[in-house]
Structure 1
Amino acid sequence: MAVNLKQLAELLGLSQTTVSRALNGYPEVNAHTRRRVLEAVRATGYRPNRAAQRLATGKARSIGLVMPIASGIDSDIHFGEFLAGLAEEAVKHDFHFVINPSAPDDEEATFRRLAASGNVDAVFLAYMRANDPRISILKSLSIPFVVHGRSIGGPRDYPFVDIDNTRAFYDATKLLLQLGHQRIALINGPDYLAFSIRRRKGLMRALDEWGLRLDDSLVQYSEMTDEHGYRSMQRFLQQPDAPTAVLCSSTVLALGAVRAINQAGLVIGRDISLIAHDDVLPMLKPENFSVPLTTTRSSLRAAGARIAARLIGGILEQGDYPEQELWPAELIVRASTGATPGR
């Protein structure tokens, strides 16, 4: 049977106040005492009374998320991986999630209700759009927040963790250009999302430096599923002047693209080159494809953990984090990229 706060304090020979302060991250509790308390919590299965904890500290120890719900919005393994990182960090500090479902046209009201409820100490935003109105909404509310990604246009003075999507796809395109490719296709995420816009921008910037222009017939936007990757690649291969290389915004899209390439009887890395963005999904490793994929790599789970650490650190007044973080993506060259055919 789990113990209560009084029994835990008696077991440790400490006052209930000291145990409570150790659990709630008060800086005046020394590291040795905090460690003893946490070890006892693990050993006894003690769970704090959240209502009492909130009364004592004024903190709910919860992070809020507004989840858009509507017909046509599919589940996304990428977001699941991000949440896994967020959850791993939250568990370390005994924080919870509060997920509020919302219709896309009711997000502003949902954020306002969530902030006013007192049920969360902070919120995070994801799936950033161009000129995303949610940033201005949250800046007007008295609740801390961190953004995963960046908007395009609008306010710039807000906390975020993002990867340099423009640079990632610029570097990937430059590699293909150096290998002689000029007909380069893009299988991208949804066209309204900021990361998709920036990845296209990176491709266009590299092409422009080589005196080339992006052929709009070689760009497909879609949800990032293997079926969409398959259909997009089929369309490209059916063109009279098919691309000799393709960029995919996810290894999930690449899974479908590879299927279409194989069905067409082409050899990846010889007849057509492929580069995918690798979010480091545990069930879909690029090195395990039939032809190991060249990738731009940045871990979604690490991003989730970082955002949780920043939010929790701000709530508990611990840690010193930069306001804005732009992470580089690593370009990893494998066998799926080769010289353009006939070169």
Structure 2
Amino acid sequence: MNLKQLSQLLGLSQTTISRALNGYPEVNEETRQRVLRVAKETGYRPNLAAQRLATGKAGSIGLIMPIAADHSSDIHFAEFQSGLAEEALRQDFHLVIMPAHPREEEQAIRWLVASGSVDGYYLAYMRERDPRITMAKTLPVPFVVHGRSLGLEPDYPYLDVDNEAAFNDATSLLLRLGHRHFGLLNGPEDLDFAMRRRHGVVAALAGAGLTLAASHTRHSVMTDEFGFRGMAELLRQPEPPTAVLCASTVLALGAVRAINQAGLKLGKDISLIAHDDVLPLLKPENFSIPLTTTRSSLRAAGNRIAQRLICQIGGQEPQPPLHELWKADLVIRASTGPAPR
């Protein structure tokens, strides 16, 4: 089925059909829905090459994939990317993935935009006063930040989880359970989300007259191995924590292994709360002792960022809000219990 045949079938001009499929406001909703329904029934797909020539758009959104010999693969990145891809597929957009060394991301973004191969892109793994945001404002295509950057005015488009509130809530729950000795297994200390999570813990403890000792804090890439190492180190402290917060269920996987090897009972001898990004291969409810979590979905975030980018690219109305700050749900399970006496 081509555009001419679809035009004859519907009794509409090819221009009207194209405008209906591309969301132009001058096509009324009844006609638009009729065109969409018949296009779906007949298997019609627009000629993307012709469409791009006509609109001057690439029909693609881009992302930089940081990669280096010492750079670990990240299950969280893959889950976010799946959400991004789902929405891109739904709206007939392509993904352009450009690998780059983590220290060369700015130049890679410039190349990506200058090539004309993308209509918009997103930024992730934000750092304090991240220079990529300042650079992105100077480039001629839309962008959305996944996360935020401490130290910068929030005058850029972002979608983030309220990491500080999530870890404040988690710490407050543990305080109500009587815990006074805390540990934190966090993500890399230069990343914004890890800073905000630590701030949330510190603020909640300060409200109870407590502090988070540097000896009881670990920063690392979020893998099972580093979760195991970090937890084992915390348990060897002269005064080990009775409550631990993990920045990821992947870290928690290793932490639970260390707790078990030490002969401790999760939820009785030591309590643990993990941040859960709803990873399909690592569900907190399937741990031997189900994990209490601060819950948010990376896949949903990827989906929403793709929606926002495509909406900006198409100039659709209404335009999405500049800022979205999602609240994480605190889901209480058996890994948390009263402080041991």
Q: TM-score, normalised by structure 1?
A: 0.94
Q: Which residue of the partner structure matches residue 29 of structure 1?
A: 27
Residue identity (%):
65
2:79 paired residue among 74, 78, 81 = 81
What CA distance in whole angstroms lies between the structure 2 residues aligned with 1:109 and 1:331?
39
Q: Does 1:327 align with 2:334?
A: no
Alignment: residue pair count: 340
Q: Is the contact made by 1:69 and 1:103 (CA closer than 8 Å) also made in structure 2?
A: yes
Q: Does 1:138 align with 2:136?
A: yes
Report matched runs for 1:113-124 at 5 Å: 113-124=111-122
2:196 paired residue among 185, 195, 198 = 198
Q: Which residue of the partner structure matches residue 164 of structure 1?
A: 162
Report matched runs for 1:309-328 at 5 Å: 309-318=307-316, 319-328=318-327
Q: Which residue of the partner structure matches residue 336 of structure 1?
A: 335
Q: In the TM superposition, what whole-angstrom CA distance separates every residue of 1:84-109 from its partner, at most 9, and x where no partner exists?
A: 11122222211111111222232222
Q: In the TM superposition, what whole-angstrom CA distance separates every residue of 1:211-259 from its partner, at most 9, and x where no partner exists?
A: 1111111111111111211111111112232111110001111111111
Q: Which residue of the partner structure matches residue 124 of structure 2?
A: 126
Q: Which residue of the partner structure matches residue 274 of structure 1?
A: 272
What letter corresponds to residue 266 of structure 2 in structure 1? Answer: I
List gaps (5 residues or longer) in structure 2: none
Report matched runs for 1:1-343 at 5 Å: 3-318=1-316, 319-342=318-341
Higher alpha-carbon deviation: 115-124 or 142-151: 115-124
Q: Is the contact made by 1:136 and 1:155 (CA closer than 8 Å) also made in structure 2?
A: no
Q: In the TM superposition, what whole-angstrom CA distance separates every residue of 1:308-328 from its partner, at most 9, and x where no partner exists?
A: 111111122223321111111
How far is the alpha carbon of 1:155 from its aligned partner? 3.7
What CA distance in whole angstroms lies between the structure 1 residues aligned with 2:283 and 2:206?
32
Higher alpha-carbon deviation: 245-254 or 315-324: 315-324
How far is the alpha carbon of 1:13 from its aligned partner? 2.8
What letter corresponds to residue 319 of structure 2 in structure 1? Answer: D
What CA distance in whole angstroms lies between the structure 1 residues aligned with 2:83 and 2:95?
13
What CA distance in whole angstroms lies between the structure 2 residues aligned with 1:290 and 1:138?
45
Q: Is the contact made by 1:90 and 1:96 (CA closer than 8 Å) also made in structure 2?
A: yes
Q: TM-score, normalised by structure 2?
A: 0.95
What letter corresponds to residue 18 of structure 2 in structure 1? Answer: S
What letter corresponds to residue 235 of structure 1 in structure 2? Answer: E
What CA distance in whole angstroms lies between the structure 1 residues aligned with 2:113 and 2:19?
25
Higher alpha-carbon deviation: 11-20 or 236-245: 11-20
Q: In the TM superposition, what whole-angstrom CA distance separates every residue of 1:180-233 from its partner, at most 9, and x where no partner exists?
A: 212111111111110001111111111111111111111111111112111111
How far is the alpha carbon of 1:114 from its aligned partner? 1.9
Partner SS, residue 228 of structure 2: helix
Partner SS, residue 29 of structure 1: coil
Partner SS, residue 325 of structure 1: strand
What CA distance in whole angstroms lies between the structure 2 residues aligned with 1:189 and 1:27?
45
How far is the alpha carbon of 1:128 from its aligned partner? 0.7
How far is the alpha carbon of 1:153 from its aligned partner? 1.1
What letter corresponds to residue 254 of structure 1 in structure 2? Answer: A
Q: Is the contact made by 1:135 and 1:155 (CA closer than 8 Å) also made in structure 2?
A: no
What letter corresponds to residue 313 of structure 1 in structure 2? Answer: C
Q: In the TM superposition, what whole-angstrom CA distance separates every residue of 1:103-139 from its partner, at most 9, and x where no partner exists?
A: 2232222222222222211111111111111000001
How far is the alpha carbon of 1:341 from its aligned partner? 0.6
What CA distance in whole angstroms lies between the structure 2 residues aligned with 1:39 and 1:97?
26
What CA distance in whole angstroms lies between the structure 1 residues aligned with 2:334 and 2:312?
44
Q: Is the contact made by 1:168 and 1:331 (CA closer than 8 Å) also made in structure 2?
A: yes
Partner SS, residue 99 of structure 1: strand
What letter corresponds to residue 297 of structure 1 in structure 2? Answer: R
